[in-house]
Structure 1
Amino acid sequence: MAYYGKCIDVVIEQLDKFKPEKDSPDQFLEAASSSLQGLSPLKQAFVMEVLSGCLEYWKLLTIVVDAFYVRDGRLCLWADYSLFQVLCYLATFQLDELGFQLFCSIIKSQPTRKTCKFLRFFFNPLNLCSWIKDEWSLIYETAHVKKNWINPLMRWQPEIQELVDQLEGVSASQTAIFKTKAKVTEPKEFNLTTPRPRAIPVPEPVPTMAKPRQVPRSTYQEPKEQQQLQIIKRHNRLKAEELLLRANVEELRCAMPRAHRAPPEQVTDSKKKLGCPTHIQKSPKLTFYRPDNIPIKLNTAAILREGALYQKQVEKELQRVDKLVDGAGDFSEFLEWQKKMQAKDQEEQLAAGECRRLQGKLSHEEAILARQNLIQENKQKADQKKEETAELMLQCAERRLREAKSMKELVEQVTEAQKNVKVAQMKLVKGRQQIVQEVMEESREMLQRSAEAAREEQRRRCELTSQLRALETQPTRKGKLVDLTQIPGYGVEGEMSVVELRERLALLRETQRREEEEKRDQIIQDKRAKSQELLNTLEQISLCRKAMGKTAAMRWEQKKTQAVTGAPSQDERVLELQRRIEERVAERRRQAALLHLPAARTERPRPQAQLEAQHWLELERSRERRLRALQPGDSAIASARRLEAA
């Protein structure tokens, strides 16, 4: 068994080195035969025979092994790929020649679990008669595949099946024996020779170093100018932080309502927490100037677009005034009806928003209930799984005992089958050596022919170079007289001399330069006209903006007087959702009590009326600030009045 195990290991090692996309099988076999010279002749013959067969039928073996890894060998290592190829080759092509006893000894020399798994997959009748036969028929003829490979495998299938069952039983018994009878390692002392004492070396003289100069103090000190700049920078930073803090506090006081303002003691405490100095003298208050006409940067397209928009609005207003003069009706009743419908829509939107909020809360409670139910189901499943694992452990122990018994019987049968392979191996080695000698003689003749052809090519190139150098040494006329005023006389229409061509090109450049200057002047005039038109449009846009700001301010005043604070009316859907939420909360608390889980934190009820009142108060203050910002000067009011009159 050890003999065949070593041979199979050598074959696997060589197959791992083979790359089908790069290496040639013939060259690889030659390299392998040269590397196996250290083995005995019988071993070398057996290894070369198996290796050459695996390379010859590489495609067939790859189909079976790849399918094994996909189906039954998903947990097997890819490092055992070559082992499965060798087993497939021996079972398919060498089983009749080796005999069943010798094949059994080869199988027993390899890892039992891997070989049993692969042989059970390969000798499965369903696999052999279905897809393996079809895949091999794509490469070779169907009759040849069925007669020479599939039928012999089907004949050996019952015996291989019995062998696999025996090996699995023996492996289980061996594992049980190894677990019970474990040898204890006995430590032994090391027999070490005592080393000789080392001789004390002569100390070397300590070299004397020159005394270095001391580092000047100025190296570790900053210059005075840098220190002064740091002091000034720190002072300016503290001053800027103080001014910024005072400005932020003033803005917060203006923005916060009177009820929510913090007392001055709390403000000083917050300053202390922020690390602000409280003993610094008061500085003058910061004043923020807001110019009336803030310049807005617009591009040309935006200016023209806004000017056209305002022009359309003015024309529409003029048309409306003309219709009113002609006797058209007013839209006041329609506007009142529209306001009522908008208020109704707003109430419906508030009710829908409240429904959405309550639905989210309801879904949250239902999710908590579902999670609690899932915890209970998982507990039941875990208990059931523990019982199943205990039963499986008992069955596994019984199966291992049976496998150990069958493995013992198989070991006794395998020790009798190692006598009939040596003559065939010697014949195969002699035939292979003769083939290698013939191939080497042919390659030597081809190398001699290629060397002769290379020498002939080199001689021909030397002759060509000598002829070219002789031609280069002949004298040649370098200069040539050219008359620029002479016409060549080729008979072409419009033929002229070089001097005339240069004069005409100069005139053409002059005319092009003159045309470019005229175009440039025209472009500058167009730009000036366009910029003047844009300035006029910008002036009109500013007037229209001021007028629209005035009307917007008046509209905000009207809305301020008509605004009514109030909570949205309760809807039936909202009440139903609240009732369902209360039921889910009660049920969740009951489930939590059963599971001994802490109840989820409930939301603290918010004072709805207080939040709404604060919201409307902040809205009114923001409107007042916007109105103060939108109030223009006297000139803006006059221009707005002129626009309204128009």
Structure 2
Amino acid sequence: MAVVLNYEDLLRHCVDVLESFDADRASVDTHTAEYLKSHCCLGCDESSATFVREVFSGCVQFRKITKVVTDNFYLKQGKNFKRTDVNLLRVFAYLALFRLEELGIEHFKKFVNTQLPQKMHKFFSFLFDETSLKSWLATEWCKVYDEKFVQANLVLPLLRWHSEMQQVLRQLKDKLDNVKKPRQVQTATEPKPFNLTKPRPRTLPLPEKIPKLKPHRPVPASTYTAPFEMDSLAKTKEYNKKKAAELLDKMAKSSPACAAAGKSEKTLRLMEKIKEEEDAKLDFNSAKALPVPPAISDNVPIKLNTAAILREGALFHRREKEEKQKLAELIAGGKDASEFLQWQEENRRKELEDDMAEIERRHLIGQLSHEDAILARRQLDVENRQKVLKMKEESSQLMQLYLQRRLEEEQGMRKLVEEVMSGHQNAKESVAKMRDIKQKIVREVSKESQELLKRALEEAEEEMKRKVELIGLIKAFESKPIIRTQFVDLTSTAGQGLLCEMSIAELRERLAWLKSAEEEEEETRREEIVAGKRAKERMIISTLGSIARHRAEQSRAAAVKQEQLKRESQTRLEVVTSKVLGLQRRLEAKRAERQRIMTELQTPPKTNSTRKSASAKRQAEERRWKDVEITREKSAASRARGLGNNQRPRETSELAS
């Protein structure tokens, strides 16, 4: 399928052909053929290839005419343009001089719009200038070609297209000035009503009879009066409150009788000391040993920062509030939730046992599926071996066919080589003829290049003279002495006429006053910060005291909880259901079947990673059962911990009583 190139790509190819052309190396036709052959996109589209070929040949044929235009443009108006765009300007000059009537103004405008508007506006305003066309540009062209040819084929066509090109130049100018085209205001559409048939008037329905409601009963008087039971309950509550307060006062005043049953700590310490002294008297010939180092207590104090102290103090304060609220509810006649919590803990224990049995069942099901997968893999290996044998037979047949075709292709290639060698001998004669033609062209071009070199040398000498004169003037200006010292008065203002103007001395005084004010403000802030720190230290000390009390209480409760956990761990039983036993039997049967298939195939089973022996499997089973026991112990410990947390309200109520 032919690829149609856009205007920008066509221009780029025309410029590339001109830049890569070397008259000493190849002729116009051979160069265009080589370029089209190297660019496949031009070879696919015949119209694009012919356009590039004709533009290139025309630029080479009329290069003297286009050179006059580009050289004068760079000399007079294009001093700020790059010299690398000279081939692009030659292509545009050729299209405007010789191909404008063939292309048309619309296609020519599209070629112009592919380039920068500033560059195109400058070049075409120079080329289509009416005064320059009639005066010096025509005379320059007459030096190269006949006057009749210049007037008929160059000047008159440009004057004929002068008005259309002025419109193109105006559009380019608008683009440079960023002028937007005025939009055409469209007339709004006027809606017209639809020609529809009018509906018939509807008949009014007869009014329905409004039903009459029965008279309602009056509201009883008991709705707005409180029942007598509420009064009796309020009286009993007040009586119970008073009685509980009296009992609490009695309990606070009188200590419990059971507290004096044992001996005090002081007496026990004295007894132990007396016993140690007596034992030391009985030891006669003992070696003197080093004293035992003091035991490190478990309750090592941890250094806390301020945020941790405040956070822990807030936590204990919130817990105290909750305990007081619970005690108030119990005093007011509320119920104790210990029985409900015990029932809830029993249900949780049962659910945990059921979950453990379910986990064991799933574990056995996973092992069964693992055994099934091993059996399926054995069968798949047998099928794959059969497929491999079939594929080997087919590949041997295909290899024989491939060798036969290769022999036939080699014979055909030999014939082609013989034909090509005969064609090379004919090509040598044509190469000799082309060499003669190129030598003639080179002689003509060398004469023209010598003339151009002479002209360039003369222009360079004139330019050097002008630069030397300018350098002398610049050095004369620079030799004049310049006074660079500036005197500054610190008490004078800038003289801008503003009300807020100040001299440097005034500014220094103002800055010193501001600095003293800032120092006073810093002192007041420092005093406020020190006072805040002292208040914060007092508050932290009080919170540390409350934290120490609460931690001592928590350590005692943890010891009680640990004893309960030891008692419960002794009464724990393992759960093994009938389903788990059935699955174990099925697993043993599957393993026996797999061992039988392995002995038949005489191939060891392959797992996902490595081959396992019977002893490794036994160790894995023991490891799994140990993991199950560890998880059960952890779950029992978590249950006991939950019971301890639930019993905490009961302990606090007992302590309060």
What TM-score does the superposition give when structure 1 sets the normalisation length? 0.48
What TM-score does the superposition give when structure 2 sets the normalisation length? 0.48
Rg comparison, structure with higher value? 2
Which structure has more relative contact order (CA 8 Å, sep 6+)? It is 1
